[in-house]
């Protein structure tokens, strides 16, 4: 099946709109494509070819994951291979002399030979080590960490923050650099853990760094399982999962580009089957392959707590949303349009209001801060909006974000303001750029009007951003484009349109600080990483400010 990426996904509309203000630049040379590493095919006994992982840490437990290959034909998505008994162990030392939990389970074709064990009875705020055994084969040992006790007073909590890792766009060096850090409590993955496109669909064939599997677009359960398995052969991704518990939510590419509750931009009913069947397949594969606890509704919105310091509210902004509106259309303001769904928005509002934590962190896969052009005070724009069908908050250019669902955003921001809920920080991915924003109550009059929260957006691990899309040297266009965005949106304190990398969020009673790191070259597996910027929000301020050095 062919990809329809050429139809220009909306997350690129913002940078294209801003870049239109800059002069044209020469096209940069394309990277040399390389073949993807293949997993070992000649398996004579059970093997752990896809690494081990942990996730969703609790004060007394953690979710453990692996995938066992019991025989040569039992490749991901094949539906083949015998059942195999898998033993798991958890210890508080690397040598496993102090095993604190253990048991057995069975891996079979019904779950693509993946194993998930929700271990409880562990000590809070403690590093643990775990491993699996099948048929005499022992998996690599890995490290994880439980969360602090719910009522514990802790000095701080620290997360790695990543999003948007496209296999064909480059390597996952960002994961390797996070794996090397011993100071993280967990890694927060904000979506687009993998991509669904056919090979050469995104990026275009001349710019493919390594070819993924399957080569066609993922549509069926076997396809999604195979693609998850392909990603899990990456050494840097395996290293990340072996070093830290991962807390993940999905965005659209775990399903299809610009997914909504009834379809997606990158889905053709009939030719690619019914959307409901595709979503069910994608979700089944996701919950098989990811160390994530599913809710009874088959969604990823959930809440984790880290002592008295921070509540982490994690959102699902794909399963319940209305279809995206046309960019620039006043339909974005329609009160019946939703990005969260009624039940999830009520759940989030109730959780924020009831939270006794110092910080309320919200993991959202798409930006909540408005990004619009032509924003003027509502009392002047409203008459024009009614006549011309324009959105009241300005001409939004990425309607896949909260900009396309302004009623939900207004309700949530009003809730934060009216209930005096302070210290709310949105943590965001998706847009392949790094941002530091205030979240204004009224963008058109900011900074004269107040800010209700702050937002830190991390760039992509490898997915294309401005210079990649335009095939120009970094900062050839972005300096002008970023200036245009900031001029029209005064709550945007900083953005980087060209870099790839990750963030490290450090939270204490006094402040939440995001340190932004960039990798030297996404097309090189041995890429280096360096700190580039830091921004923080002080307790009680609801504003971001620049800091001149990282926490570490």
pLDDT tens-digit series, residues 464-496: 998 899 898 988 888 888 888 898 899 999 999
pLDDT for 395: 76
For Cα atoms 367, 339, 324, give the angle at the middle one, nearest 5 degrees: 90
**Range picked from 28-32, 167-171, 382-386 for highest mean pLDDT:** 167-171
The closest of 335, 297, 337 to 316, measured between CA atoms, is 297
Across the strands, what pairs with 117? Answer: 64
Q: Is the pLDDT of residue 4 over 50?
A: no
Across the strands, what pairs with 411? Answer: none
pLDDT for 34: 34
Tell me the fold of 5-30+148-516: Purple Acid Phosphatase; chain A, domain 2 (3.60.21)
- Let me know how many helices (H) and strands (E) the chain has, helices first: 10, 26
What gap in Å lies between CA 144 and CA 126, rounded to an integer? Answer: 8
pLDDT for 484: 86
Q: Is the pLDDT of residue 15 over 70?
A: no
pLDDT in tens, 508-532: 999 999 999 999 999 999 999 999 9
Q: Tokens in use for 225?
A: 């399982």
Q: Is the pLDDT of residue 18 over 80?
A: no
What gap in Å lies between CA 58 and CA 43, rounded to an integer? Answer: 36
Q: Is the pLDDT of residue 32 over 50?
A: no
Q: Tokens in use for 344?
A: 């999830």
Q: How confident is the model at residue 389 (pLDDT cuts 50, 70, 90)?
A: low
What gap in Å lies between CA 14 and CA 103, rounded to an integer? Answer: 51
Q: How confident is the model at residue 295 (pLDDT cuts 50, 70, 90)?
A: confident
Q: Which helix (H) or strand (E) holds 128?
A: strand 127-134
Looking at per-residue confidence, does 186 or 476 come out higher?
186
Across the strands, what pairs with 359? Answer: 310
Q: How confident is the model at residue 374 (pLDDT cuts 50, 70, 90)?
A: low
Q: Tokens in use for 443?
A: 């963008």
* Percent over 70 (pLDDT), the chain: 89
- Among the residue ranges 8-22, 55-69, 340-354, the one predicted with the least confidence is 8-22
pLDDT in tens, 37-68: 344 444 579 999 999 999 999 999 999 999 99
pLDDT for 162: 98
CA dihedral 41, 42, 43, 48 (to 10 degrees): -40
Residue boundaries of the structural domains of the chain: 5-30+148-516, 39-142
Looking at per-residue confidence, does 365 or 296 come out higher?
365
pLDDT for 13: 44
pLDDT for 509: 98
Entry field: residues in the chain: 552
The answer to whether residues 457 and 433 touch, using CB atoms and an 8 Å cutoff, is yes
CATH ID of 39-142, from 1.20.120.720, 1.10.10.10, 2.60.40.380, 3.40.190.10:
2.60.40.380
pLDDT for 408: 98
What gap in Å lies between CA 135 and CA 87, rounded to an integer? Answer: 9
Q: How confident is the model at residue 291 (pLDDT cuts 50, 70, 90)?
A: very high
The closest of 344, 358, 271 to 309, measured between CA atoms, is 358
Other CB atoms within a 10 A radius of the CB of residue 466 amount to 27
- Across the chain, mean pLDDT equals 90
pLDDT in tens, 394-431: 777 799 999 999 999 999 999 999 999 999 999 999 99
Q: Is the pLDDT of residue 380 over 80?
A: no
Beta strand 157-162 pairing with 142-145: unpaired
- Among the residue ranges 1-15, 108-122, 415-429, 473-487, the one predicted with the least confidence is 1-15
Give the residue-averaged pLDDT of 357-382: 78
What gap in Å lies between CA 4 and CA 148, rounded to an integer? Answer: 45
Measured CA distances, 214 to 9, 197, 229 (Å): 22, 10, 10
Residue 381 phi/psi, 5-degree rounding, is: -80, -25
């Amino acid at each position: 099946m062919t990809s329809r990426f050429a139809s220009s996904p909306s997350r690129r509309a913002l940078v294209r709109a801003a870049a239109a203000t800059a002069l044209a630049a020469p096209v940069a040379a394309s990277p040399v494509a390389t073949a993807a590493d293949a997993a070992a095919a000649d398996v004579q006994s059970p093997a752990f070819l896809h690494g081990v992982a942990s996730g969703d840490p609790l004060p007394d437990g953690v979710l453990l994951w692996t995938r066992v290959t019991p025989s040569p034909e039992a490749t991901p998505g094949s539906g083949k291979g015998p059942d195999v008994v898998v033993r798991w162990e958890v210890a508080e030392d690397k040598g496993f002399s102090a095993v604190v939990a253990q048991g057995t389970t069975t891996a079979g074709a019904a779950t693509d030979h993946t194993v998930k064990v929700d271990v409880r009875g562990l000590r809070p705020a403690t590093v643990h080590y775990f491993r699996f055994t099948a048929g005499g084969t022992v998996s690599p040992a890995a490290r994880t960490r439980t969360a602090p006790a719910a009522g514990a007073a802790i000095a701080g909590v620290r997360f790695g923050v990543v999003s948007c890792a496209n296999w064909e766009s480059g390597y996952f060096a960002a994961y390797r650099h996070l794996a090397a850090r011993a100071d993280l409590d967990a890694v927060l993955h904000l979506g687009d853990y993998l991509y669904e496109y056919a090979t050469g669909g995104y990026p275009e064939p001349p710019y493919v760094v390594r070819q993924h599997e399957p080569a066609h677009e993922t549509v069926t359960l076997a396809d999604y399982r195979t693609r998850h398995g392909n990603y899990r052969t990456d050494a840097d991704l395996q290293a990340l999962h072996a070093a830290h518990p991962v807390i993940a939510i999905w965005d659209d590419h775990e399903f299809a580009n610009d997914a909504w509750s009834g379809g997606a931009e990158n889905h053709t009913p009939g030719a690619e089957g019914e959307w409901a069947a595709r979503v069910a397949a994608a979700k089944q594969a996701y919950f098989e392959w990811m160390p994530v606890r599913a809710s009874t509704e088959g969604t990823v919105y959930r809440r984790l707590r880290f002592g008295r310091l921070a509540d982490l509210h994690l959102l699902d902004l794909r399963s319940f949303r209305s279809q995206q509106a046309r960019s620039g259309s006043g339909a974005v303001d329609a009160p019946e349009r939703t990005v969260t769904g009624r039940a999830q928005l009520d759940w989030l509002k109730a959780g924020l209001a009831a939270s006794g934590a110092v910080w309320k962190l919200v993991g959202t896969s798409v930006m909540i801060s408005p990004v619009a052009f032509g924003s003027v005070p509502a009392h002047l724009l409203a008459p024009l909006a009614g006549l011309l069908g324009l959105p009241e908050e300005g001409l939004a250019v990425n309607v896949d974000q909260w900009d396309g669902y302004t009623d939900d955003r207004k309700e949530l921001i009003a809730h934060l303001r009216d209930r005096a809920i302070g210290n709310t920080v949105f943590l965001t991915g998706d847009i392949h750029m790094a941002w530091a924003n205030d979240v204004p109550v009224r963008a058109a009059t900011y900074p004269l009007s107040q800010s209700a929260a702050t937002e830190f957006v991390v760039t992509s691990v490898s997915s294309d951003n401005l210079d990649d899309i335009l095939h120009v040297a970094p900062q050839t266009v972005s300096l002008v484009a970023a200036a245009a965005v900031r001029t029209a949106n005064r709550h945007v304190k900083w953005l980087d349109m060209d870099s790839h990398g990750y963030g490290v969020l450090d939270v204490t009673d006094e402040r939440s600080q995001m340190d932004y790191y960039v990798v030297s070259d996404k097309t090189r597996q041995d890429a280096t990483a360096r700190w580039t910027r830091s921004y923080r929000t002080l307790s009680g301020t609801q504003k971001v400010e620049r800091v001149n050095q990282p926490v570490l």
